[in-house]
Amino acid sequence: MRNQPAFLPSILPPLLADAAGLVAMFVAFPPLAEQLSEPGGINALLLSGGFIAFCIGVFWLRRLRPVDGGDGEWATRNWRVALAVLFALVMSLAIAWQLGFFRSGLQVDTRDLGEGGSASYFVFGPGAWLGFSALYVLVLAFTVQPSLEPGGGRWATAATLGLLAANTMLLLLSAQARALAGESAVWLPLLFAGLLLLFLPPRLLYIARGPGFPSPAGYVTLGLLLMLVGAYALAIITA
């Protein structure tokens, strides 16, 4: 039978990360949503920087050695690849929108660009954004050797920073969604489901490495994420 870790140490990293995420929703979300509402290169760099931090954070989570000594995987590789590809597509679309690709694509005259120019504009550019976003596939889906032993300060620190990075990306993509979504409440279930689909994997990764299922700490850790994602989905249509 699995030996469950102590309750408080198990929920402390997500509790700290989600408390910070909730504070950021009130302090940083409104100005960030306003800034991201106007496409610009600085915004694309901001999203890209947050994405790199997110990938590093998920990498740290995958380096955590499972408390129970198992493999710590919460899903098969095929499922992890599918979810990572979905995130990469969303990320590449967000970057493309900030760079004005969709707006300018409707105004470009391919006859003036020529064959080479058209290929560069409509193929190589989006391909570069998608290739950059596919970094997450490498981090989430492929083998990472766990090396941080449970019970130590490095394990808890890496877990906290990894979850903080995930919540920072949640803040950024929610602010981006605010620029695209309307204020109708009909969007709320779709926004909640979409954000949950994107940000559930890092949380399940932490649970598989730490408190595990079934355990009270595992369910509380998952519940914290559900509440935080719900709060951001609500903020998108009401901010």
**229 within domain boundaries:** yes
DSSP structure class, residue 123: I
pLDDT of residue 136: 95
**Vertex 48 angle, CA 107 and 145, to 5°:** 140
Among residues 99, 106, 101, 107, the alpha carbon closest in space to that of 39 is found at 99
Among residues 188, 205, 2, 170, the alpha carbon closest in space to that of 87 is found at 170
**122 within domain boundaries:** yes
Q: How many Cβ atoms sit within 10 Å of the Cβ of residue 39?
A: 17
* 64 three-class SS: strand
**95 within domain boundaries:** yes
Q: How many CA atoms lie within 13 A of 64 on its CB side?
A: 36
Find the domain containing 116 and state its range. 7-238
Number of structural domains the chain divides into: 1
Q: Is the pLDDT of residue 209 over 60?
A: yes
**124 within domain boundaries:** yes
What value does the mean pLDDT take over residues 192-200? 97
State pTM to two decimals.
Answer: 0.88
pLDDT of residue 132: 84
Greatest mean pLDDT among 110-114, 139-143, 176-180, 231-235? 231-235
What value does the mean pLDDT take over residues 155-176? 97
Q: How far apart are CA 66 and CA 147, in angstroms?
A: 10
Beta bridge partners, 148, equal 64
Contacts of residue 75, defined as CB under 8 A and 6 or more positions apart, other chains included, come to 83, 201, 204
Q: What is the pLDDT of residues 212-225, one digit of tens each?
A: 888 999 999 999 99
**1 within domain boundaries:** no
**2 within domain boundaries:** no
DSSP structure class, residue 149: P
Q: How many Cβ atoms sit within 10 Å of the Cβ of residue 31?
A: 10
Ramachandran bin of 114, using left for φ above 0, alpha for ψ from -120 to 50, beta for the remaining angles:
left
Residue 205: φ, ψ to 5°: -60, -45
pLDDT of residue 49: 96
The CA–CA distances, whole Å, from 176 to 172, 173, 192, 233 equal 6, 5, 14, 12
Q: What is the pLDDT of residues 8-29, one digit of tens each?
A: 888 999 999 999 999 999 999 9
Contacts of residue 146, defined as CB under 8 A and 6 or more positions apart, other chains included, come to 62, 63, 64, 65, 66, 72, 209
Q: Residue 43, class by beta-carbon neighbours within 10 Å (0-12 exposed, 13-18 middle, 19+ buried)?
A: buried
Q: What is the pLDDT of residues 23-78, one digit of tens each?
A: 999 999 999 999 999 998 899 999 999 999 999 999 999 999 998 777 778 889 99
Q: What is the pLDDT of residues 134-162, one digit of tens each?
A: 899 999 998 888 889 888 789 999 999 99
pLDDT of residue 193: 96
Q: What is the pLDDT of residues 84-125, one digit of tens each?
A: 999 999 999 999 889 877 565 444 444 444 444 444 445 455
**226 within domain boundaries:** yes
pLDDT of residue 225: 97
